[in-house]
Amino acid sequence: MGNVLIAGDLHGNTAHALALIRVAARNDCERVFAVGDFGAWEHMHSGRRYFDAVNRAAKRAGVTVYFLDGNHDKSSLLHELYDEHPDDEGFLMCRKHLRYAPRGHRWTWEGTSFAAFGGARSTDKGRRLAREARKAEQAAKRRGYGSSKRPQTAGMLWFPEEEMTDAELTGLLDADSSPVDVLLTHDKPRASQPKWNRKDKDECYPNQDRIQRVMRTLRPSVLFHGHLHVRYTDTIASGDGQWTRIEGLACDPEASQYLQYSSEHSWYVLQLPYAGERADGPAAAEPRSLPA
């Protein structure tokens, strides 16, 4: 049976992506699944080059790479380019060995049911918009000196679709609210409590509440997410006397700000079929923060 390597934020880091593909091959994983901020920037040449490199490496290793969207992935462009090219499981085929899971997508691997809900709030939105504005000013100045180039600047560094709306989430849950075994998200649920939380900010809470709502509706045994750039494990109530284990994954080495970071904190081998059972309470899943 093929295992799945669940990976935290890659941020378009090609070296880290290729290293993860090698980790997947060593651990008998037929699939890699990145939980957002993957590096979906095909509006830029570097993003297209990154996609091509990941696809080639995945082909050589005999694996397929999947991802959901984070706040730093241009998901609107993914839909524009690939909505007409889904595979047999409903993933959007960005490349033959590279596929995107839209928000609310559901599927089953080896008898294990999954759902993906991407999106989050960017705490650096202001800085990204300021950089876009500076680029627009520079382009206007060049035109004033006679340059005919009119490069696009808006929507290059910050993407207005980064968060799910409440209406979007309601529509997805109304369409299918049946339970799943494994929930994959970019953002954390509001109730999880990592020891180091870089997203403990008022502007981040609405989307965390949406993820909390998804979790309580779908009642997964385990939820994997990224976004915080730190490895931790927690257990929180998911309703009706059930509990969900939360596995937060770290990111690529270049983006990590955590002093005790190790690349092993950025991935988790999920064995399929998944044999995990819903815990009876917090003690059953031994909540902990990693690294110790």
Can you give the residue range of the structural domain that contains 57? 3-122+163-289
CB 217 within 8 A of CB 210: no
State whether 137 and 88 are in the same domain: no
User: Do residues 117 and 34 share a domain?
Assistant: yes
Q: Mean pLDDT throughout 90-118? A: 98
Please give the pLDDT value at position 142: 63
Same domain, 258 and 138: no
> Which has the closest alpha carbon to 248: 230, 269, 271, 270?
230
Q: Structure tokens of 106?
A: 């559901």
Judge if 170 and 102 occupy the same domain.
yes
Residue type (1 letter), 189 = P
Q: Give one word for 66, left, alpha or beta, with left for phi > 0 and alpha for psi -120 to 50.
A: beta
Assess whether 143 and 35 both reside in one domain. no
User: What are 141's two structure tokens?
Assistant: 């100045």
Q: Report the alpha-carbon distance of residue 224 to residue 228 in Å, rounded.
A: 12
pLDDT value at 148 more than 60: no
Mean pLDDT of the chain: 90
Q: What is the pLDDT of residue 109?
A: 97
C-alpha 98/C-alpha 146 separation (Å) is 42
Judgement on whether residues 258 and 118 belong to the same structural domain of the protein: yes
Which is more confidently placed, 98 or 140?
A: 98
Single residue among 142, 157, 172 that ends a domain in this structure: 157
Nearest to 270 by CA among 15, 17, 23, 100: 23
Number of domains in the chain: 2
Q: Are residues 203 and 270 in the same domain?
A: yes
CATH number at residue 25: 3.60.21.10
Answer with the one of 157, 177, 208 that is the final residue of a domain. 157
Residues 63 and 117 in one domain: yes
At a CB cut-off of 8 Å and minimum separation 6, what does 75 contact?
A: 40, 69, 102, 103, 118, 119, 159, 161, 162
For residue 168, the number of C-alpha atoms closer than 13 Å in the C-beta half-sphere is 15
The answer to whether 115 touches 104, Cβ cutoff 8 Å, is yes
Q: Given this model, what pLDDT does residue 281 score?
A: 54
- Mean pLDDT in residue range 170-174: 98
Q: Over range 233-248, report the average pLDDT.
A: 95
Shared domain for 141 and 23, answered yes or no, is: no
What is the per-residue pLDDT across 25-45, written as a single tens digit (0 to 9) for each?
999 999 999 999 999 999 999
pLDDT reported for residue 18: 98
Question: Quick one: which of 36, 54, 27, 11 has its CA closest to 183?
Answer: 36
Together in a domain, 117 and 235: yes
On the question of pLDDT at 276 being above 50, the answer is: yes
| Same-domain status, 201 and 105 | yes
Q: Give the DSSP H/E element, type plus range, for residue 15.
A: helix 14-26
Rounded mean pLDDT, 192-214: 96
> Do 257 and 222 reside in the same domain of the chain?
yes
Q: What is the pLDDT of residue 290?
A: 43
Q: Which of 134, 157, 180 is where one domain is finished?
A: 157
208 neighbors 189 (Cβ within 8 angstroms): yes
- Which helix or strand (DSSP H or E) is residue 105 part of? strand 105-109
Residue 113 in contact with residue 105, Cβ under 8 Å? no
Which whole number is the average pLDDT over 50-73? 98
